[in-house]
Amino acid sequence: MARALIIDTDPSVDDAVAALVALASPEDLEVLALTTVAGNVPVALTTKNALKILALAGRTDIAVHPGATGPLNGALRSAEYVNGATGMDGFDLPEPARAGKGYAPDAIVDTIMARPAHSVTMVCIAPMTNLALALRKAPGVAGRLREIVIMGGARSEAGNITPCAEFNIFVDPEAAQMVFTCGAPITLIPLDCTHQALTSAGRLGRLRALGTPVAEALYHLLVFNKRFHERRCGTDGAPLHDATTIAYLLRPELFSGRHVNVAVECASGLTRGMTVIDWWSVTGKAANAQVLTGIHADAYFDLVLERLARLA
Ligand code: BDR
Ligand code: CA
């Protein structure tokens, strides 16, 4: 039976690829809903982008639930400098013909409580405010989840928004800490892993060669997206961060890592949002997450392209 997912997202193109690969894998994954949050851009825009992505895939049957307009504490720190003012600059997808409905934290609670225990997986590819609000409203949700798969954080790769912090965790560290301490099985895919998986010219060429409207749209969005990273890091391509979560669910053998303790720095101004990953078990604290730091990058892109080729 296909594994049921809620994808909590702030699209951006790597979120879009994650959702599209999941939608292209119905034999393995059932996407119950997309829940959106303020992150890359404000939530009105991430919601619009989520609706556009589903329309692109012809899946207007899947609900989009808009969620938190900002982190639990303080103001939103968004990232228009990476993906443009819309969050998905580089290709104009049609304006969505429908709106988001409901409120993401409520939808997360209602869906998880209505489905059989240990059947729903949360895929968190954005600041985790929505899941934190759901846990605050209904702490019992944690014990009913099958798994939480998170793209976020960094072990030894250092941060991408501050020297110590990765964007998704930095935007809402308190939410992340609530999630890491909730007791559900967690898999974390940090920058150490995603920085090995770059949208090189060769890989983008293979994407465009698929020749479908989906591939053409993603090609242009990814070309826009890679410019920032290439300028900053001098690489050929940018990390395709968020689709690693879906690839992990489809082909866990492409990844390697350890079960360790993860805590989030919520206090220090200097290191706020840092994921403190106890790789060598020096604290003696119980492991609360599987942290993946290794990826077979070529096989990851083969999988992504094979699944995207299924979409028209
Ligand atoms: C994360 O930040 C977002 O911009 C990406 O979509 C990804 O979820 C990477 O740090
Ligand atoms: Ca994201």
pLDDT at residue 197 in the model: 98
Distance CA 5, CA 20 (A): 13
Q: In what order do the strands lie in the sheet with 145-151?
A: 63-66, 29-36, 3-9, 120-125, 145-151, 186-189, 289-295, 255-260
Spacing, Cα 10 to ligand 2 middle (Å)? 5
Going from the Cα of 208 to the center of ligand 2, the distance in angstroms, rounded, reads 22
**Tens digit of each residue's pLDDT (9 = 90 or more) over 48-76:** 999 999 999 999 999 999 999 999 999 99
Q: What whole-number distance in Å separates Cα of residue 165 and Cα of residue 163?
A: 6
How far apart (Å, rounded) are the C-alpha atoms in residues 31 and 34? Answer: 8
Place of tokens 């619009």: 48
Tell me: pLDDT of 125 over 90: yes
Could you tell me the pLDDT band of residue 268, with boundaries at 50, 70 and 90?
confident
- Average pLDDT of the segment spanning 230-252: 97
- Centre of ligand 1 to C-alpha 300, Å, is 18
pLDDT at 188 over 90: yes
Question: Nearest residue CA, atom 4 of ligand 1?
Answer: 40
Give φ, ψ of 26 to 5 degrees. Answer: -65, -25
- Residues flanking ligand 1, CB < 6 Å: 12, 14-15, 40, 79, 82, 125-126, 151, 160, 166-168, 241-242
- Which listed ligand is nearest to 229 at the C-alpha? 1
Test site for ligand 1: of 36, 88, 168, 240, most ligand atoms within 8 A of the Cβ:
168
Mean pLDDT taken over the chain: 98
CA of 16 to the centre of ligand 2 (A): 9
- The DSSP string of 292-307 is EEEE-HHHHHHHHHHH
Provide mean pLDDT across the span 102-129.
98
Question: In ligand 1, which atom is closest to the CA atom of 239?
Answer: 9
Q: Which atom of ligand 1 is nearest to the CA of 161?
A: 10
Q: From ligand 2's centre to the CA of 201, what distance in Å?
A: 22
Q: Is the predicted pLDDT of residue 176 greater than 90, yes or no?
A: yes
User: Concatenated DSSP letters for 120-181?
Assistant: EEEEEES-THHHHHHHHH-TTHHHHEEEEEEE---SSS--SSSSS--HHHHH-HHHHHHHHT
Q: How far is residue 212's CA from residue 57's CA, in Å, rounded to a whole number?
A: 11
Task: Locate the ligand 1 atom nearest the alpha carbon of residue 126 and give its number.
Answer: 8
* The pLDDT of residue 258: 98
Instruction: State pTM to two decimals.
Output: 0.98
Asked whether residue 84 carries a pLDDT value surpassing 90, the answer given is: yes
Q: Does 312 score more than 90 pLDDT? A: no
Under 8 Å between Cβ of 10 and 36? yes
Q: Which ligand is nearest to the CA of 154?
A: 1
Element spanning 105, H or E: helix 104-114
Q: For residue 194, what pLDDT band results from cuts at 50, 70 and 90?
A: very high
In the chain, what are the domains? 3-151+177-188+197-250+296-308 (3.90.245.10)
Q: Can you give 231-271 as a three-state secondary structure string? A: HHHCCCCCECCCHHHHHHHHCHHHEEEEEECEEECCCCCCC
Report in angstroms the alpha-carbon separations of 178 from 1, 60, 104, 182: 30, 32, 17, 6
Confidence at 27, pLDDT banded by 50, 70, 90: very high
Residue found by looking up tokens 């949360």 in the block: 122
Q: Which atom of ligand 1 is nearest to the CA of 13?
A: 6
Summarize pLDDT for 140-150 with one digit per residue, the tens. Answer: 999 999 999 99
Q: Would residue 296 show up in a list of annotated catalytic residues for this protein?
A: no
**Considering 65, 195, 229, 241, which one is annotated as catalytic?**
241
288 in Cβ contact with 185 (< 8 Å): no
211 backbone φψ class: left, alpha, beta (φ>0; ψ -120 to 50)? left
What's the mean pLDDT in 26-48? Answer: 98
pLDDT band of 172, cuts 50, 70, 90: very high
- Which ligand is closest in space to the CA of residue 168? 1
Give me the percent of the chain exceeding a pLDDT of 90: 99
Distance CA 38, CA 55 (A): 21
Q: Are strands 262-264 and 275-277 parallel, antiparallel or unpaired?
A: antiparallel
